[in-house]
């Protein structure tokens, strides 16, 4: 039996012919991503004998509705499907498996597994650490080039990871830029969908502004549920300091006061940030020590003694901090003595002094909003040196809690945001009244 493949649209054709190791496809809704995944998987399985492929989504129900029910029809008489194993077997020995990952425990079923190709469908709904661990399953002794295909829309737990790699192209050690390719897709590329559902674009245009920008236009700088929508990291403005929060480092004047903010962690990351305050009360995050492994939200297992020994060394040696009278603020929980010596008492041994931070969460988040807000001329009250990678990675991706709509979801990597709000609460601002023109010009997303 022959396999019939309909003609792809230009973006789908680009995806089908791409040969880089890591290929992301998507952006907006309705771009024909699911069809492209199924088609690519079928073509690879039929062309290359004995390879192993995996299509993974967050839940099994999504796999069934988006892939399995279609492939059982399309591959009837060509490949054999075993429902108990969620596996297609092809006559040439290739296999196509289906998997899901909705929580940390689901990763266990892939421990030790080997695949030649993995498709992470709607990958922004997966956590970064899940995607990193699944990528470790791409291995084997055959000579078939190993690849990972990502399909994606803006928003979700994996948003910042995919945006860093494929949109911003900010690579870390060991990541080769030539290995990564992003293929944008919009609903207007998908003629088949528009013919079948001519009102689909109208449905997207009727969404709330944030969803419309993300799902219709494929905007990666905004997504529904994002907490700090004001935050902007535009390299074009690093030097003039307007319309951005991230800037190039500069020498700190000796007259500016320096402060330290701290949030304790052990199995989870600890965070220490250093802030400079200028003559107008504008704050600058000039340095940070973030105790996180290469796996997001995983602590380095440093004891309080080791953390404060390193903080002391940095303050004694770093040009920004050496010889400064540095005041500190920290989570009140570090004064807890119920288990013996408190974390705060350990800090004192290293001449590190903290005041108890104001731990009110909603008020703290609002102080961060006030600081990030742009004034009528496009200037905020908070800047982040572009060397503070932990802040830039974690704070913009924070989302609101489903249970407490005004609060940040505490299941996220919020440690840097916590110590930032302690510091902001130590120097509270009143909200600024902006002109309507400024609101339109500098906060266009609402």
pLDDT of residue 27: 72
Q: Which residue in 164, 186, 188, 190 sits closest to 177, CA to CA?
A: 164
> What's the token pair of residue 94?
């290739």
Contact indicator for 286, 442 with CB cutoff of 8 Å: no
Q: Which residues of 275-304 are buried (b: 16+ CB within 10 A; e: fewer)?
A: bbeeeeebbbbbbbbbbbeeebbbbeebeb
pLDDT of residue 157: 82
Whether 314 has a pLDDT exceeding 90, the answer reads yes
Confidence of residue 1 (pLDDT cuts 50, 70, 90): low
pLDDT of residue 445: 37
> Is the model's pTM score more than 0.85?
no
Q: What is the mean predicted confidence (pLDDT) over 143-158? A: 88
Measured CA to CA in angstroms, residue 255 lies from 208, 277, 324 at distances of 47, 9, 10
Whether 256 has a pLDDT exceeding 60, the answer reads yes
Phi-psi bin for 331: left (phi > 0), alpha (psi -120 to 50), beta? Answer: beta
pLDDT of residue 442: 35
Task: Count CB neighbours of 437 within 10 A.
Answer: 9
DSSP 28: S
Give the C-alpha separation, 191 to 194, whole Å: 5
Whether 193 has a pLDDT exceeding 70, the answer reads no
Q: Which residue has the higher pLDDT, 127 or 416?
A: 416
Confidence of residue 178 (pLDDT cuts 50, 70, 90): very high
Calculate what percentage of the chain has a pLDDT beyond 70.
Answer: 87
Domains of the chain: 10-215 (3.40.50.300), 235-442 (3.30.420.280)
Q: What is the mean predicted confidence (pLDDT) over 419-428? A: 97
Contact indicator for 202, 434 with CB cutoff of 8 Å: no
366-387 pLDDT, tens digit each: 999 999 999 988 899 999 999 9
Q: What is the mean predicted confidence (pLDDT) over 86-90? A: 96
Q: List, as one string, the DSSP characters of 37-102.
A: HHHHHHHHHHHSTT-EEEEEES-HHHHIIIIIHHHHHHTTTTSEEETTTTEEE-TTS-EEEEEE-S
Q: What is the mean predicted confidence (pLDDT) over 224-251? A: 83
Q: Which residue has the higher pLDDT, 229 or 293?
A: 293
Task: Count CB neighbours of 213 within 10 A.
Answer: 22
> What's the token pair of residue 329?
């603020």
Give the C-alpha separation, 52 to 97, whole Å: 8
Measured CA to CA in angstroms, residue 278 lies from 129, 150, 169, 257, 269 at distances of 38, 44, 32, 7, 29
Q: What is the mean predicted confidence (pLDDT) over 80-88? A: 95
Contact indicator for 151, 25 with CB cutoff of 8 Å: yes
């Amino acid at each position: 039996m022959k396999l019939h493949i309909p003609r792809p649209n230009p973006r789908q054709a680009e995806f089908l012919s791409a040969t880089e190791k890591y290929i992301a496809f998507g952006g907006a809704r309705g771009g024909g991503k699911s069809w492209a995944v199924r088609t690519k998987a079928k073509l690879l399985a039929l062309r290359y004998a004995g390879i192993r492929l995996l299509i993974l989504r967050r839940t099994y129900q999504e796999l069934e509705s988006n892939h399995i029910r279609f492939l059982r029809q399309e591959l009837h008489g060509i490949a054999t499907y075993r429902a108990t194993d969620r596996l297609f077997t092809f006559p040439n020995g290739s296999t196509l498996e289906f998997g899901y990952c909705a929580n940390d425990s689901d990763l266990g079923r892939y421990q030790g597994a080997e695949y030649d190709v993995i498709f992470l469908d709607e990958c922004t709904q997966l956590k970064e650490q899940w995607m990193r661990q699944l990528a470790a399953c791409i291995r084997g002794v055959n000579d078939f080039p190993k690849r990972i295909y990502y399909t994606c829309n803006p928003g979700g737990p994996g948003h910042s990871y995919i945006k860093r790699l494929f949109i911003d192209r900010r690579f870390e050690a060991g990541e080769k830029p030539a290995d990564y390719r992003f293929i944008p897709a919009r609903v207007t590329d998908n003629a088949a969908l528009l013919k079948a559902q001519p009102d689909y674009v109208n449905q997207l245009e009727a969404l709330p502004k944030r969803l419309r920008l993300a799902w219709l236009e494929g905007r990666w700088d905004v997504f529904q549920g994002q907490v700090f929508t004001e935050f902007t990291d535009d390299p074009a403005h690093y030097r003039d300091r307007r319309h951005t929060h991230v800037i190039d480092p500069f020498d700190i004047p000796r007259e500016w006061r320096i402060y330290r903010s701290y949030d304790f962690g052990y199995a989870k990351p600890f965070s220490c940030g250093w802030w400079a305050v200028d003559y107008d009360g504008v704050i600058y995050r000039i340095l940070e020590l973030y105790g996180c492994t290469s796996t997001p939200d995983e602590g380095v297992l440093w004891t309080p003694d080791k953390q404060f020994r390193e903080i002391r060394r940095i303050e004694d040696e770093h040009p920004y901090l050496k010889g400064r009278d540095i005041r500190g603020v920290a989570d009140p929980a570090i004064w807890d003595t119920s288990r013996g010596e408190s974390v705060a008492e350990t800090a004192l041994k290293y001449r590190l002094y903290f005041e108890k931070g104001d731990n009110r969460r909603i008020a703290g988040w609002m102080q961060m909003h006030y600081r990030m807000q742009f004034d009528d001329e496009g200037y905020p009250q908070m800047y982040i040196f572009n060397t503070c990678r932990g802040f830039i990675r974690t704070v913009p991706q924070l989302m609101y809690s489903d249970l407490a709509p005004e609060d940040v979801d505490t299941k996220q990597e919020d440690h840097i945001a916590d110590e930032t709000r302690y510091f902001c609460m130590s120097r509270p601002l009143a909200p600024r009244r902006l002109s309507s023109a400024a609101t339109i010009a500098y906060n266009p997303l609402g």
